[in-house]
Structure 1
Amino acid sequence: MHPTTQPALLIVGHGSRDEGGAEAFRSFVRGLAGRTPEGVAVAGGFIELSPPPLTEAVAELAAQGARRMAAVPLMLVSAGHAKGDIPAALARERLRLPGLSFAYGRPLGPHPGLLSVLERRVEEAAGGWARSETTVLLVGRGSTDPDANAEVFKAARLLWEGRGYAGVETAFVSLAAPDVAAGLERCRALGARRIVVLPYFLFTGILPDRVRAQAAAWAEAHPEAGVRHAAVIGPEPELSELVLARYREALEGDIRMNCDACVYRVALPGFADKVGLPQQPHHHPGDHDHAHHGHGPHDHGSHDHGPHDHEHGHQPHVRAH
């Protein structure tokens, strides 16, 4: 084990009643420990349901000499756990172990790396189906937080853009509508005959199993529709790279809002030609009257998008809440 000379990486999970899912998290943490720079200690813990609890992970890092830690929530959306439970737990740890400090990273979100993994999962499930004839139903966990549910819809849209699928629809397995059956009905109503049900989950567990069971029940009742089921994201290299990126940006305070999938910064499928291009003044349809009223061109702030110049109206760099 490397001596802890850098801020430690604390990975925070929700926890699961399914031991297989909990062990997948623990295995991912063990694997990530071999990918960090020298001197960066890694530990992971859960806020509920599964061992080890977060407090043990913090104690493990503190015992190695860590006094500053970057906590990264291993969660796809900013639900209540990421917004409230984890910050509250970290506040308790500061009181319990005076001298510790925490930088808090943001959830993983629909990052291009994870979208690439989702795309692979669809292709694995679809087999030889043509993309133009394949509709994807992306199924999220579901939350009482509308902001978290909206992030799943954003992921669905980004998965659809530039990849040639007939469509990407959204459903939830609990707490939010539409449920899996309703999502599949929507796909059918839109004319889909080949549907890949894609669970928007990192690891296996009770809820991904429920998605599969509900999709299978609907498919049995609708034999005219071809329904296939994709695997979860899993411990892919893209996931490890994203966690390390969240670690770095948390420590640097370099959190650029909404930039993960910006076409001027990231080579998204079908939009690679836009990376690094300067924006030009442009007109929207209906803007032709402006010139007759003393207005100049409809300009959204012409500016360069070089490799390291990516502000275009974003908030200043801020630390996560």
Structure 2
Amino acid sequence: MTGSASALLIVGHGTRDAEGAGQFRAFVRRVAARAAGAGAGCAAPAAVAGGFIELSPPPLKDAVAGLVEAGHRNLTAVPLILLAAGHAKGDIPAALARERDRHPGLRTRLGRPLGPHPVVLDLLRERLAAASAGAERPDAVLLVGRGTTDPDANADLYRAARLLWETSRDAGVREVEPAFVSLAHPAVPDGLDRLRTLGARRVVVLPFFLFPGVLPTRVHAQAGAWAKEHDVAVRVADVIGDCDALADLVLERYLEADGRGPAAPGMNCDACVYRIALPGFEARVGQAQHPHDHPEDPTHPHHHDHPHHHDHEHAHVSD
């Protein structure tokens, strides 16, 4: 636990898209307002700033310099990134190390990327509903991420697609397939081909992106070109965008990295059904956990006396 709150440094990748860069800057202001709002109390960061590691102003160095000039020597950085590829694993830690060299005595912590957090899944379902409004419910969803050369990050998109499907079945979503717009396969046309083969005739392409940019624009172009050549109705949803729920998630990641969040160090409890009310699994929250019966455990109350054993869920390590 920290003795006092650190400053929050929101780290973006950067984009050549002016609208996307503007949304990032507006989002940083939103997070600052949410942090300063009623109920933030002692959980609020000492200050909030944001910068990019490349392509867009303000650069990260300017954001750090502004915090240092204001007297802040403890910074907690939250990567405003959905999937933990090279930017989150290498570029951002290296950039923070450079800032520590520039500002002797500066201390930094680095939080986790946002990932397929339940808040992100909720926002994706909202964008899916908006894209489906006024039309027949879609047969399937194509969840499109940026694509990387990091297999771990690419696998996380598959995890996001599975979680979205698991928590959207009550809404009638039959299939959720992942695809990538660059650097990795399957590409957007490949994903749409697969859904068509599986029988889908109404598809929503759901960009797994925070703000507008070059790659979300490419998703629209690729989906539109494919739709012109096939007998499938294709709609493209909006990106997640600047919103309060996303701002609150950044503050959650900040508290976690600052040692004041609910998750234990090293644990990823974002999608634990015993802690989080995921749609369709609400009854699991707080559910009592019991060990499995083992026939060679003489201390267990069911040993020999109760031959008919019941099925139990495995317990979460800290439940």
Q: What residue is the counterpart of 1:204 in the other structure?
A: 212
SS at match of 1:34: helix
Call closer, same or farther: CA 1:299–1:123 in 2, change over 3 Å: closer
SS at match of 1:58: helix
The question of 1:85 aligning with 2:91 is answered yes
Q: What residue is the counterpart of 1:262 in the other structure?
A: 272
TM-score, scaled to structure 2: 0.86
Instruction: Compute the displacement of 1:89 (Å).
Output: 0.8
Call closer, same or farther: CA 1:93–1:50 in 2, change over 3 Å: same
Instruction: Compute the displacement of 1:23 (Å).
Output: 1.2
Decide which moves more: 249-258 or 10-19: 249-258
Q: What residue is the counterpart of 2:39 in the other structure?
A: none
Contact map agreement 1:278 1:302 (CA 8 A) in 2: no
| Residues 193-272 of structure 1 aligned to structure 2 (within 5 Å) | 193-222=201-230, 224-252=231-259, 254-255=264-265, 257-272=267-282
Instruction: Compute the displacement of 1:226 (Å).
Output: 1.0
Q: Report the RMSD for the aligned CA atoms in angstroms.
A: 2.5
Q: What residue is the counterpart of 1:287 in the other structure?
A: none
**More relative contact order, 1 or 2 (CA 8 Å, 6+ apart):** 2
The question of 1:17 aligning with 2:16 is answered yes
**Deviations 1:31-73, CA, capped at 9 Å, x for gaps:** 2111114662111111111111111110011111101010000
The one of 156, 160, 168 equivalent to 2:165 is 160
The question of 1:177 aligning with 2:185 is answered yes
Output the CA distance in 2 between the equivalents of 1:111 and 1:255.
17
Which residue type is aligned with residue 111 of structure 2? G
The question of 1:138 aligning with 2:148 is answered no
Which residue type is aligned with residue 5 of structure 2? Q
The one of 199, 204, 213 equivalent to 1:191 is 199
Count residues in correspondence: 295
Decide which moves more: 115-124 or 35-44: 35-44
Instruction: Compute the displacement of 1:255 (Å).
Output: 4.0
Instruction: Compute the displacement of 1:230 (Å).
Output: 0.2
Output the CA distance in 2 between the equivalents of 1:301 and 1:174.
39
Q: What residue is the counterpart of 2:133 in the other structure?
A: 127
The question of 1:27 aligning with 2:33 is answered no
Contact map agreement 1:281 1:298 (CA 8 A) in 2: no
Instruction: Compute the displacement of 1:117 (Å).
Output: 0.6
Call closer, same or farther: CA 1:129–1:39 in 2, change over 3 Å: closer
Aligned sequence identity (%): 60
Q: Runs of at least 4 residues of structure 1 off by over 3 A?
A: 128-131, 253-256, 280-283, 296-303
Call closer, same or farther: CA 1:103–1:280 in 2, change over 3 Å: same
Q: What residue is the counterpart of 1:279 in the other structure?
A: 289
Output the CA distance in 2 between the equivalents of 1:125 and 1:179.
21
Contact map agreement 2:30 2:244 (CA 8 A) in 1: no
SS at match of 2:83: coil
Which residue type is aligned with residue 252 of structure 1? G
The one of 106, 115, 118 equivalent to 2:112 is 106
Contact map agreement 2:27 2:243 (CA 8 A) in 1: no
**Deviations 1:169-227, CA, capped at 9 Å, x for gaps:** 000000000000001001101111110000000000110000000000000011x2111
Q: What residue is the counterpart of 1:148 in the other structure?
A: 153
SS at match of 1:176: coil
TM-score, scaled to structure 1: 0.86
Output the CA distance in 2 between the equivalents of 1:61 and 1:264.
39
Instruction: Compute the displacement of 1:104 (Å).
Output: 0.7
SS at match of 1:35: helix
Unpaired segments of 5 or more residues in structure 1? 284-289, 313-321
Q: What residue is the counterpart of 1:66 in the other structure?
A: 72
Instruction: Compute the displacement of 1:109 (Å).
Output: 0.5
Call closer, same or farther: CA 1:231–1:255 in 2, change over 3 Å: farther
Output the CA distance in 2 between the equivalents of 1:39 and 1:79.
26
Instruction: Compute the displacement of 1:300 (Å).
Output: 7.8
**Deviations 1:81-137, CA, capped at 9 Å, x for gaps:** 100111111111111101110011000001111111100101111125565x52000
